[in-house]
């Protein structure tokens, strides 16, 4: 199994718009071969360590590196990237294996 933690930072004030676009692709991603988990999360109220108001985290689990690779080149992901290009300030993607 492969775990992915993706930190997505929107341009100031654009997180809600970016999350709206992100939520549109969730059903297509869940239908992908090898997808175990895929969803966004934001800081819980009162969290002592915060990613901030412009960032959300995508928590992903994939059956294999091959499934993750196929996800990264899926047509719906390419379309999402094109639609959100002007909303994203930065991203950091961490691919992990169970310890």
Q: How do the domains of the chain map onto residue ranges?
A: 2-96
Residue written as tokens 């169970």? 98
Q: How many CB atoms lie within 10 A of CB 46?
A: 6
- Is the entire prediction scored with pTM above 0.85? yes
**2-96 belongs to CATH 2.30.30.360:** no
Q: Which pLDDT score is estimated for 47?
A: 87
- Span 70-87, pLDDT tens digits: 999 999 999 999 999 999
Cα gap 97→2, rounded to integer Å = 5
- Span 23-69, pLDDT tens digits: 999 999 999 999 999 999 999 998 889 999 999 999 999 999 999 99
Cα gap 85→71, rounded to integer Å = 18
């Amino acid at each position: 199994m492969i775990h992915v933690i993706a930190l997505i930072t929107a341009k100031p004030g654009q997180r809600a718009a970016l999350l709206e676009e992100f939520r549109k692709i969730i059903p297509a991603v869940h239908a992908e071969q090898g997808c175990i988990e895929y969803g966004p999360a934001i800081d819980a109220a009162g969290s002592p360590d915060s990613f901030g108001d412009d960032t959300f985290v995508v928590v992903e689990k994939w059956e294999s590196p091959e499934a993750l690779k196929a996800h990264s080149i899926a047509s719906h992901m390419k379309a999402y990237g094109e639609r959100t290009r002007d909303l994203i300030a930065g991203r950091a993607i961490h691919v992990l294996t169970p310890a």
